[in-house]
Chains A and B, each alone.
Chain A
């Protein structure tokens, strides 16, 4: 009606649509939920999510605390990155420490030394301590088949547990954020993003990510067909030979369980090309925690994992 004679092309790219959707979701959380927090691991997905949160409320500051569950099994580059971002964006950082929970006897170290499973009670305890009733997480549906069926606003009972059979229908962009006291919601603004979208967005926006995502020389050894960094947290056993290789990390998790991939991609453009042509999913390539069984992720989510 009021349109000018020559109508401009009003089509958004897939990244613009995904960005708009994520900003809408993050704003919806702040508008509807009293005490939300955003989970931040220092991994690329949580960095992108935080970037979107900053954009959603500019010129105001990010209006919720950032929650880091510190497994104690960290890549030093990632911790340093976290502290830098917190300072730059003047964020309120809350840390739940797995080591502290072990010392207090709240959780017990697992026989295999991984702290992936025992970080769940620490996450739940920290959320309860601060009264957070919504946690924003950077999980994506393309990562794993249980996640492919999870809602954007994922309802959790008073034990933080996910029940895949009792999910709320999610229609249009109308998200139901209502909970009773004690119950909570996990919200995943990046649900519809793929690993490739994340990297395209990092490239397009010039977002800084920890250096371990780019190819670098590292002393590694092979275990179960995966490449692990040899360091204090993860020592090769007899028969596991270490050598220096050019590697990069596709995911950042518990440093004892997260493997590197052989790579020469030392710039964002090269990483993009590598991700676009890879034939293995990022979790399949690098995560010991998802190799336990077909339903490893589903089982952890039911216990309250994000």
Chain B
């Protein structure tokens, strides 16, 4: 059984919580004591319905104010696949939350209300999905029951969205008409929409092909930790522990260590369960080399003829999450793969309007939840790939040097 991580975007009004509730409920993933708790809390709130949103809104303030504060993670499984849902709230801190949820997602579901069609928020969500390079996007056109299950309405929204999506980099788009409330096309195909010939949402989630989404071409092994046992049995042992960030590594491979540029050969790929002939992303292994060279955390082992860029100058799209704005001249801590160093903001090129995709070049700062193009200069070189080529070696976070808060997410261009 494999694993699919997906993010959901949309507001409560779009029926997102109902949709998730429906997926969990119809796949028998809600436990009876959870459901009783939600029913009890719904009654206490004076609601006439069982508020399925309470399944995900777990914090006291969320219950009291009827809002969702933070990304909530939910788990369910069918006989085919295990799923991790990152449920991201639509209103408050939408960029921060959605960027967080989408960063590890294989697939994103964007919900629209069939009565309203595409709204500003739908475009914004679709843009963030493409910015974070989530490989698969599902546009779920919800509340089809309220438009008489009309094929015409569905086709119009689909056309509008496809037109907009052409401006974005979306690799795989699937559009599904659903009614979360009644369960049409959520788990089972709907009898009310015979004109729709595609898969139900769950069926699509179970079968969408994700094995080719990972980069298995560019061998990238960021060294996370050096293992030296200091014991009699393993006197001269030296192993480089880490998780493969791209490609396939094989015992006997010629490699080069960056940034030093020293060549060597893989003598063994080890795990606690024994040695391996080959390992691939995202496996956690320990790599040993034939030569005794000086390697530490933050270095990268790769192939001599396929190397990442080694540079102190970083061009990136940055999603800003700090309370105080990002400006040129600022100094920050940057964490990229297993390397942490300092970065200086050289210049800000433009701020992107996430609703219109307009580039505002006169903007001089990025406020909370803003996205823009930035040039950074780092104190030590980073070993990077373009984010669109590899999310692991193309993404970084920015950390405030004083508060130590995570204040930005960067995608290298």
Residues of chain A at the chain B interface (Cβ within 8 Å): 1-3, 9-14, 16-21, 23-24, 27-28, 30-32, 54-61, 141-142, 144-146, 148-149, 164-165, 167-174, 176, 178-180, 191-192, 194, 196-197, 278-281, 284-285, 294-295, 298-299
Contacts and interface: CB of A to CB of B under 8 A. Distances in A.
Contacts of B81: 14
B379 interface: no
B229 A20 contact: no
Nearest to A277: B28
Interface in B165-214: 211
Contacts of B225: 27, 30-31
B330 interface: no
A56 B72 CA distance: 28
A272 B236 CA distance: 42
Interface residues of B, number: 78
B305 to A, nearest CB: 9
Contacts of B392: 172-173
Contacts of A55: 271-273
B405 A171 contact: no
8 contacts: A12-B282, A54-B272, A61-B231, A148-B58, A164-B70, A171-B99, A192-B73, A279-B31
Contact of B227 (A24, A57, A142): A57
Contacts of A23: 243, 284
Contacts, number: 191
Q: Which of B75, B280, B321 gathers the greatest number of chain A CB atoms within 10 Å?
A: B75
Contact of A167 (B70, B74, B104, B336): B70
B84 interface: yes
Interface string B1-30: 111000000000000000000000000000
B155 to A, nearest CB: 36
B273 to A, nearest CB: 8
Contacts of A298: 58-60
A280 B280 contact: no
A13 B70 contact: no
B227 A60 contact: yes
A14 B1 contact: yes
A87 B378 CA distance: 46
A150 to B, nearest CB: 9
B356 interface: no
B272 A149 contact: no
Contacts of B248: 3, 10
Task: Report which residue of A11, A61, A174, A191 has the largest number of chain B beta carbons within 10 angstroms of its beta carbon.
Answer: A174
A13 B33 contact: no
B164 interface: no
Nearest to B28: A279
A24 B224 contact: yes
Which of B234, B237, B284 has the most C-beta atoms of chain A within 10 angstroms of its own C-beta? B284
A172 B248 CA distance: 20
Contacts of A57: 227, 241
Interface string B226-245: 01111101100100011100
A5 B63 CA distance: 56
A294 B41 contact: yes
A19 B243 CA distance: 11
B121 interface: no
A12 B226 CA distance: 25
Interface stretch (B112-120, B145-153, B345-353, B393-401): B393-401
A12 B228 CA distance: 28
B283 interface: yes
A192 B404 contact: no
A165 B69 contact: yes
Contacts of A149: 58-59, 69-73
Contacts of B224: 24, 27-28, 31
B338 interface: yes
A19 B283 CA distance: 9
Contacts of B217: 1
A17 B229 CA distance: 26
B335 interface: yes
Given A27-B225, A60-B229, A169-B100, A176 B69 contact: no
B96 interface: yes
A206 B56 CA distance: 34
A299 to B, nearest CB: 8
Contact of B229 (A31, A54, A59, A191): A59
Interface in B77-132: 77, 81-82, 84, 96, 99-100, 103-104
